[in-house]
Amino acid sequence: MPKLSPKPIKVKLLHPDAQLPTRAYAGDAGLDLYAIEDSIIPAGKHGLIKFGLAVEIPEGYVGFIKDRGSMGRSGLHVIGGVMDSNYRGEYICSMINASDSDYKIEKGHRVAQLVILPYFTGLPSEADELSESERGEKRYASSGK
């Protein structure tokens, strides 16, 4: 089981109903994010979900707001969700409801998860040729079904 980082992630609660992100299990990669207000996302539409908090992600890392499994099974998916380490504003995510019925999000429910990962800091460099690889230029489903 991976060890939890001894360095805490600083979180500023911006709203009286905001909650610190949590992990259900020690091995979970994502930190659950909680909605601070009730909202309805109509079928086939998108809506903004507020978490009422700001996060100080360490330099050299990036946060991704991602679907929680239970929400994805219900047809609710996060759109975008890249949180740079230099951003200090309120975390909000856009979600689309891909189901055929309206979805009610209740205040205090875990609706998304924040996954924090290191990122590559190199710069692009133009090249005339790229190295060979086993996959080459094969696109989607190139390894079979």
The Cα 39–Cα 41 span in angstroms is 7
Instruction: Looking at 1-145, list the stretches that DSSP marks H as alpha helix, in order from N- to C-terminal side.
Output: 69-73
Q: In this structure, what token pair is assigned to residue 3?
A: 């060890």
Rounded to 5 degrees, what are φ and ψ at 73? -65, -25
Q: Residue ranges of the domains in the chain? A: 30-118
**pLDDT tens, position by position, 80-128:** 889 999 999 999 999 999 999 999 999 999 999 999 999 999 999 999 9
Question: Which fold does the domain 30-118 belong to in CATH?
Answer: Deoxyuridine 5'-Triphosphate Nucleotidohydrolase; Chain A (2.70.40)
The string of pLDDT tens digits covering residues 66-84 is 999 888 888 999 998 899 9
